[in-house]
Amino acid sequence: MTRYSDEFIDELKENVDIVDLISDYLELKKTGNRYKGLCPFHSEKTPSFFVNPDNNFYHCFGCGAGGDSINFVMEIENLTFIESVKMLAERSGMELPDMSNQQRQVYKERENIFSLNKLAARFYNYLLTDTNMGKEALEYLNKRGFNEEDIKRFHLGYAADEWQLLLNFLKKKDFSIHLIKKAGLISEGNNNSHYDKFRNRVMFPIFNNRGEVIAFGGRILDSEDNYGPKYLNSPETQIFSKKKNLYGLHLAKDRIRKENSCIIMEGYTDVIQAHKNGFKNSIASLGTAFTEEQAKLIKRYAENAYIAYDADTAGNKATLRGLDILNNTGINVKVIELEEGSDPDQLLKNEGSDVFNELIENAVNLIDFKINMIVKDKNLSEPGIRKKVLRSIVELLSGVEDNLEREIYLERAAAKTNFKADILAEEVEKEFKENKRRNYKSNREKQNKKKEKTFDLYSQLSYYQKVEEEILAHFISNPSLREELAGRISKNDFNGRTAQLAERLFKGSVISNSIHLDKIKEELEEELLSYWSEILVKQDNSLDRNRILDLADYLSSKRISKNKEKLCRLISKKELSLDKLNRILLTFYSLNYNIERRD
């Protein structure tokens, strides 16, 4: 990974008040020397997200997320390391130093893909609005009810029915084939030739939430098959990940925040039509199923989401799973029920915003929606079908944890199906209890695991572990102590997870002020990384220098006496060769010497 000098990074972290930074995203409350709040990276009701302002670290004891201010920005803004550094530098009014050549290259490549995309979007837009080539596409858009203003707002365009029009244009603008390919705009043919990926398509640029073009979606203009699929999207690139972005968010985010709700649709044209009709909090997932990343992205802006999918899509399994993901992220999900064969685009165009508003008002929550899906088009007078429907409803409702809620849904389900309410209730309760029993063990295990991870962690640790963690935390966060600590302890003084961390930290001969902690961090597995932030958030900053050094000596003397015991055991065994005995005695003396020196 590219980086700035360690000095600059250290200075930057010093300058950024991590409590101030994180408070931009969630509410933090002071507790002792630390701050706590609801974790922005997983859904929770009691806060297990802690910030330690003394060493600028955060850690969530619920999901294990953690790190310093740069990690936080990377995670929550979905940025690279360099971009996060840039953002934090701007925030604290620091000037960015020059990067090395190689660093500059990698960073430059991303920047270049951004500007290449921007230029391509402009080119497509020009073809659509100002050339004869785009006439048919323009007519198509007009026919679908989109005017100049809509085209401008979403920066729509047209990819001409040519093989190398965009390629040649970008080449003339000095972009290399290598880069155009990396941006996903061309494909490779035979004999090393290249051609435009998007041809004869209406182009929908996809923006990130900062309003930069990161990818394209193209809709075929010709209905014949020889042009490929109806919709074609950019591949995943350095700057585009389908599962992490949402169409239209850059335009909708302010409104979403203001209204604390968004409307999630399926297609590009749905969103454009919605914005045109005043529903400016509308966005679309880039694919039918919702991902966790997208859910978290929404959670940053709003707590409520209305789903406006086509009737046939809304009911399918992948969609429902996506809705569950949204719901589990802590978003209150309501489904707008559209008539079979209708979509928001057509509906808004044909019936107008009043009708759509009414549908929003009548949107049903997820359980009601699922009941409707179970009952839909079923002939309930047929015993076999009736039984199946009953089974599905029992299964669904027995998953509702809250008693009162379960009761309410029961009544609604009974009314919808003409099942006797008390019989349905009996079945659901039976299944509910059965579920509980079945889940008891696994829940218990899960909860125990969770308990281990809650913040009163000290109580669960032995004194040695506490000392080990404390020493490592100070080693990491206190450069002026590093050398001295390194002279007193080695990785062998640690046990378990602290030993794993210590091994990485003490690796190599250089343990000085310039130790590349960020580099080590990059090499750590996720679990150790999480442990890293955990011990830093727990770090006791009231310990003074001497106390820390004492603790370090304590750790190493503990190891030495342990080794001495081992040696004694060996010596007491018979039949040691003279050679081995000599070696053991030498070690023994040196251990004693060490202990005396320290005492």
Of the candidate spans 41-49, 306-314, 411-419, 444-452, the one that interacts with Zn ion by CB under 5 A turns out to be: 41-49
Query: Is the CB of residue 72 less than 8 Å from the CB of residue 40?
Result: no
Least distance to Zn ion, CB of residue 19, Å: 17
Instruction: Output the six-digit token pair for 580.
Output: 């081995």
Q: Is 296 one of the binding residues for Zn ion (CB under 5 A)?
A: no
- Among 39, 160, 185, 215, which residue interacts with Zn ion (rule: CB under 5 A)? 39
Least distance to Zn ion, CB of residue 321, Å: 22
Query: Is the CB of residue 348 less than 8 Å from the CB of residue 274?
Result: yes
Looking at the Cβ atoms of 43 and 164, the one nearer to Zn ion is 43
Looking at the Cβ atoms of 65 and 297, the one nearer to Zn ion is 65
C-alpha–C-alpha distance, residues 191 and 245, integer Å: 35
Instruction: Output the six-digit token pair for 294.
Output: 């997208």
Of the candidate spans 31-39, 439-447, 500-508, 517-525, the one that interacts with Zn ion by CB under 5 A turns out to be: 31-39
Q: Is 215 one of the binding residues for Zn ion (CB under 5 A)?
A: no
Least distance to Zn ion, CB of residue 65, Å: 5
Query: Is the CB of residue 363 less than 8 Å from the CB of residue 334?
Result: yes
Per DSSP, the three-state class of 218 is strand
Least distance to Zn ion, CB of residue 549, Å: 34
Looking at the Cβ atoms of 63 and 408, the one nearer to Zn ion is 63
Binding-residue pattern over the window 65 to 104 for Zn ion, x denoting contact by CB under 5 A: x---------------------------------------
Q: For residue 414, count other CB atoms closer than 10 A to its CB.
A: 17
Per DSSP, the three-state class of 194 is strand
Q: Is 41 one of the binding residues for Zn ion (CB under 5 A)?
A: yes
Per DSSP, the three-state class of 92 is coil
Instruction: Output the six-digit token pair for 476.
Output: 């990491």
- Among 60, 127, 220, 537, which residue interacts with Zn ion (rule: CB under 5 A)? 60
Looking at the Cβ atoms of 37 and 134, the one nearer to Zn ion is 37
Least distance to Zn ion, CB of residue 44, Å: 7
Query: Is the CB of residue 504 less than 8 Å from the CB of residue 523?
Result: yes
Q: In terms of residues, how long is the chain?
A: 599
- Among 62, 67, 205, 248, which residue interacts with Zn ion (rule: CB under 5 A)? 62
In angstroms, the Cα distances linking 175 to 104, 105, 117, 160, 403 are 17, 14, 11, 20, 62
Of the candidate spans 39-47, 136-144, 356-364, 505-513, the one that interacts with Zn ion by CB under 5 A turns out to be: 39-47
Long-range contacts of 189-195 (CB under 8 A, 24+ apart): 194/164, 194/167, 195/163, 195/164, 195/167
3-state secondary structure 126-174: HHHHHCCCCHHHHHHHHHCCCCHHHHHHCCCEEECCCCCHHHHHHHHCC
Looking at the Cβ atoms of 76 and 272, the one nearer to Zn ion is 76
Say how many CA atoms lie within 13 Å of 542 toward its Cβ: 3
- Among 19, 26, 63, 591, which residue interacts with Zn ion (rule: CB under 5 A)? 63
Q: Of all helices (H) and strands (E), which one includes residue 530?
A: helix 526-538
Looking at the Cβ atoms of 281 and 329, the one nearer to Zn ion is 329
- Among 13, 34, 42, 182, which residue interacts with Zn ion (rule: CB under 5 A)? 42
Total residues interacting with Zn ion, rule: CB under 5 A: 7
Looking at the Cβ atoms of 63 and 528, the one nearer to Zn ion is 63
Residues that bind Zn ion (CB under 5 A): 39, 41-42, 60, 62-63, 65
